[in-house]
Amino acid sequence: MTQTNSDKQHETTKIVEKDNWKALAPMGIAFGMGTFNDNFFKQTALLLSASSGFADIQTSATILFALPFVLCSTWAGWLADKISKQTIVVWAKFLELIAMLIGAVSFYHANWNGVMAVIFIMGLQSTIFSPALNGSIPDNFRRETVPTVNAILKLFTTVTILIGIALSGISLDLHAPESFAFLNEYVNMELFGILTVAIIAVSMALIGFIATLFLKRIPNTHPTQAKFPLWGFIDSVRHFVFFYKKDPKLFAAISVEAFFYFIATIAVLLINNLGLNELGFSKTKTSLMPVSLMVGICLGSFIARKCLPSKWYSYAVPAGFIMGISLLFIPLIQLVTPDTAFFYTLLVFSVTGVAAGAYLIPAVSFIQVRPSPDSRGKTLGCSNFTSFVAIMFAGVVFLPLATLLPSTALLVCGIFALIFITSVKAFLKYKSHTHS
């Protein structure tokens, strides 16, 4: 693929000459504690709502968490370009700590309006936090190191997501030891599980906040001169169209990332239906299927860590084809013996995950290093906006797919992936000629 004028322009942007590995631990802890609490808190809300007969909570929680990303990503991106990213990260984690304190009180008093408000605040906090932290990666690491850093962070955050989901149910099932009976004078120990959830959530938020204080403050030497984007998500759409016209590779990378979240959202929903309803697996076996997918994504991320961001498509395009093709093998489970069906699904989803990780990380790394320092936040804000629009659109597409057998619906997802990645390859090839 030939070098375009926009490639030459962006190659003049100097990032850093030496990796600041000391920043990785506080970055990982801050990021990981956030993803832990996002999933730990939401899973707790879903479990409690299910046991209380509030069937509509899951939909409301999903929408409330995603809404800030759609509405506020442009503003968060502009802020990350305007002031020190470390300052934003610190205050965002402080907001998370306040949210967890409110959430603890809301859970204890069964105040569902308070719980829903906290889920919205968590979405808002993540919207503010994401472009600042992700934008600070190229400020601390060389271009060629960025994919490795992203792979490490992906591994850590995936582990914290899994632990957060698992620990929620375990915590709620806990009962107070008899030796704690004297505490009944102060709190209702029959709610020991909820008290445990509260302590864990607040503790993780506090650890994440403290970690951000160890991040080196890098002054914003190239603050954006752009005016505050009053139109919010409309400006995100404008930015996306601008990238299409002026920087096709960046447009393609953002689209590739958004499609990952689109297909992943649908796949996770279908996997549960596949295991429980079509194949008759136990809940334990069914839960291990998305775990195999996430473990594969971590492995694929590490495989792709050596990919130079400027050559992201050399990994993403082939990996995208493998991801799509692997999903086509799901319906063949009908030809497998019942004794091996479970292991067959684990194998297929593991391969799909490896391909997905190798597909995602190079594109994400390119999105981080491609923009100039004064527009990195804007670009990451646009990326967040596009990804969450894709996630919300996935909810719409899932409805007709849910009427099919889950294995057939996953085959359709594989076809979607093959059509999309073929379109990306054709688009990049066409634009490389017209912009050369």
| Rg of the chain in Å (alpha carbons) | 22
Look up residue 72 and give its amino acid. Answer: C
Nearest to 300 by CA among 402, 197, 139, 151: 151
Nearest to 415 by CA among 426, 402, 401: 401
Q: In the structure, how many helices (H) and strands (E) does the chain have?
A: 14, 0
Spatial separation of the C-alpha atoms in residues 77 and 328, rounded to whole Å? 38
pTM of the model: 0.80
Q: Which two tokens stand for residue 97?
A: 């700590």
What long-range pairs does 338-342 form, CB within 8 A, spacing at least 24?
341/279, 342/279, 342/281, 342/285
CB of 119 closer than 8 Å to CB of 107 = no
CB of 313 closer than 8 Å to CB of 249 = yes
Spatial separation of the C-alpha atoms in residues 181 and 171, rounded to whole Å? 18
Q: Which domains does the chain possess?
A: 1-14+232-436 (1.20.1250.20), 21-215 (1.20.1250.20)
**CA-to-CA dists, residue 283 to 40, 271, 273, 290, angstroms:** 19, 12, 11, 12
310: Cα separation from own chain's centroid:
22
CB of 6 closer than 8 Å to CB of 310 = no
Per-position pLDDT tens, the chain of length 436: 555 555 544 544 444 567 778 888 999 999 999 999 988 888 888 778 766 666 567 667 777 888 888 888 888 888 888 888 889 999 999 999 999 999 999 988 889 899 999 999 999 999 999 888 888 888 888 888 888 888 888 888 888 988 887 788 788 887 766 666 556 666 665 677 888 899 999 999 999 999 999 887 776 666 666 677 777 778 888 888 999 988 999 999 999 999 999 999 888 888 878 888 888 888 778 878 888 998 899 899 888 888 888 888 888 999 999 999 999 999 999 888 888 999 999 999 999 999 999 999 999 999 988 888 777 888 888 998 999 899 888 888 888 998 999 999 999 999 999 999 999 999 998 887 765 5
